[in-house]
Chains A and B, each alone.
Chain A
Amino acid sequence: QKEVEQNSGPLSVPEGAIASLNCTYSDRGSQSFFWYRQYSGKSPELIMSIYSNGDKEDGRFTAQLNKASQYVSLLIRDSQPSDSATYLCAVIQGYSSASKIIFGSGTRLSIRP
């Protein structure tokens, strides 16, 4: 079982709709969760971080965390063509300064006009 799992996609969503991206993780000790956006040929860009159960909203983005189910998701409202990218889920296990960040393989999102 992979430590951080994402559906590779592609996920196709019509412009203006809500895109829902999901991620599951295996280590119950995980404490910090991140979503990165990566355009083709570019480096990952941090768009959301979440540390406690519940929802966190930032503009059109909402991150949702459920530690009991070991599940984190990203919702993108009013999807735009510029949201077409690969979205990487990342998880840090524990609070130790030696903790490493584990990345999922990413979900490719395509917003169709």
Chain B
Amino acid sequence: DGGITQSPKYLFRKEGQNVTLSCEQNLNHDAMYWYRQDPGQGLRLIYYSQIVNDFQKGDIAEGYSVSREKKESFPLTVTSAQKNPTAFYLCASSAPDRGPTYEQYFGPGTRLTVT
């Protein structure tokens, strides 16, 4: 059963703490992405990775960090430097090597609340 998993579904943290969100995929996709969605807003790209051990900043990377040590995994750390971390975080993957379609498939998301 192929897909993208994100854990946990809900996460609560105190202000000033770093927190790491998990994203795993078994679709054998090379590219993975992290987005943030705020209520009533579209998706904003935080970081993306097209290959293991390489990643690029998206539009709102400040206060976030990522790693890509394995093809299947792309964890996102929300650091204490992120001013407004409360949001819905979505991980996605795609297979750009399969042609110029780049369809992205999303995990179920993690809803982070920081108080």
Contacts and interface: CB of A to CB of B under 8 A. Distances in A.
Question: How many interface residues does chain B have, given as a range?
Answer: 20 to 34
A98 B57 CA distance: 12
Interface residues of A, number: 24
B69 to A, nearest CB: 21
B100 A42 contact: no
Contacts, number: 48
Interface stretch (A64-72, A74-82, A99-107): A99-107
A92 interface: yes
- The dominant DSSP class at the B interface is loop
Q: Which of A42, A43, A46, A103 has the most CB of B within 10 A?
A: A43
Contacts of A92: 102
Interface of B: 31, 40-43, 45, 48, 50, 58, 90, 96-97, 100-109
